[in-house]
Amino acid sequence: MIRIALSGAGGQIGTVLRPRLLAAGHSLRSGGGPSRLEPLSDAEAVTTGDLRDPDAVDRLLAGTEVLVHMAGTSVERPLPEVIENNLVALHQVYEGARRHRLRRVVFASSNHAFGMHPVTERLTADAPFRPDGVYGLSKAWGEGMGRMYWDRHGIEGVALRIGSALPRPTEFRHLSTWLGHDDLARLVLCSVTAPVPGYLAVWGVSDNPRSYWDNAAAAAIGYRPAQSAEDYAAEILARENPLDPVARTLQGGGFATMDYTPQE
Ligand code: 15L
């Protein structure tokens, strides 16, 4: 049993993880941001607060060993918002991890830190960052931060470069990028419990034959995906691909052609 802090517990991914981490026998301190969550069992405590505030970070991390950090901006947004949530708050969270002597932080990175790689490339975990926007860029910062807190402070780090975490794949790109919910939980459980060599980055993807990513790094921590987007291929291939012609050529898909020019 590991005492896990889960940030972003009320979000899409947090909602998937809460019951599954509890069912695996771990205890949870779940941070719901501004919303007060109802504990799912006696093994879950809930906290609220903005993670830019060290007191909120302290409430979330008190008495825990590993943080699964799923909070933050999860799509392309104006730069000031991305900076507050994904740079400033993340820094507070890592400082909290130091104060509370956490063993490990599992960080929700994203495929969008690599979104400008062409779809014809198959990337290993050591591929260079090629962010497709300011959101993807913030995830490169987050991965750098995980690396730094291992090198400087001995806090283990696992960065999950999450593809498309959805109940089911619905469009052509997802045949490559889909991460099924059960596989998401499998990957997070491995990331929390497996021995890691200090700092590690892995792809968050199911067992998709068309995957853009070679996930040997995740296999090394015991991740065995059991879901495959290919099971939905017939249905998806019968639909029109919603992406524009340029977005189809880049791993980040629609994010890679989004306009991030600051608006007055
Ligand atoms: C992400 O990083 C986003 O959080 C999610 O909303 C999806 O867009 C996903 O990537 C994706 O690439 O499909």
Give tens-digit pLDDT for 74-133. 999 999 999 999 999 999 999 999 999 999 999 999 999 999 999 999 999 999 999 999
Protein residue with least CA distance to atom 13, ligand 1: 164
Active site residue 135: yes
Share of the chain above pLDDT 70, in %: 100
The candidate with the shortest Cα–Cα distance to 171, out of 255, 258, 248, 250, is: 248
Q: What per-residue confidence (pLDDT) applies to 76? A: 97
Protein residue with least CA distance to atom 7, ligand 1: 164
Find out whether the beta carbon of 251 lies less than 6 Å from any atom of ligand 1.
no
Distance 141 CA to ligand 1 centre (A): 17
Kindly state the tokens that stand for 45: 């405590």
Q: What per-residue confidence (pLDDT) applies to 15? A: 98
Q: Residues 30-76: pLDDT tens digits?
A: 999 888 899 999 999 999 999 999 999 999 999 999 999 999 999 99
Across the chain, mean pLDDT equals 97
- Decide if the complex's ipTM is over 0.85: yes
CA angle (36, 39, 42) in 5-degree steps:
150
CB 191 within 8 A of CB 108: no
Local confidence band at 262 (pLDDT 50, 70, 90 cut-offs): confident
Share of the chain above pLDDT 90, in %: 97
Find out whether the beta carbon of 164 lies less than 6 Å from any atom of ligand 1.
yes
Q: What per-residue confidence (pLDDT) applies to 33? A: 86
CA 163 to chain centre: 8
Q: What per-residue confidence (pLDDT) applies to 59? A: 98
Q: What per-residue confidence (pLDDT) applies to 46? A: 98
Predicted confidence (pLDDT) at residue 264 exceeds the cutoff of 80: no
Find out whether the beta carbon of 69 lies less than 6 Å from any atom of ligand 1.
no
Q: For the chain, give every domain's residue range.
A: 3-257
Q: Residues 196-219: pLDDT tens digits?
A: 999 999 999 999 999 999 999 999
Residue located via tokens 């509370």:
100
Q: Mean of the pLDDT values across residues 151-178? A: 98
Of 12, 73, 75, which is best to mutate to test ligand 1, by the most ligand atoms within 8 angstroms of its C-beta?
75
Q: Using DSSP, state whether 157 is helix, strand or coil.
A: strand
Q: What per-residue confidence (pLDDT) applies to 116? A: 98
Find out whether the beta carbon of 138 lies less than 6 Å from any atom of ligand 1.
no
Find out whether the beta carbon of 173 lies less than 6 Å from any atom of ligand 1.
no
Q: What per-residue confidence (pLDDT) applies to 60? A: 98
CB 90 within 8 A of CB 141: yes
CATH number of the domain located at residue range(s) 3-257 in this protein: 3.40.50.720
Protein residue with least CA distance to atom 2, ligand 1: 110
Rg (CA), the chain: 18
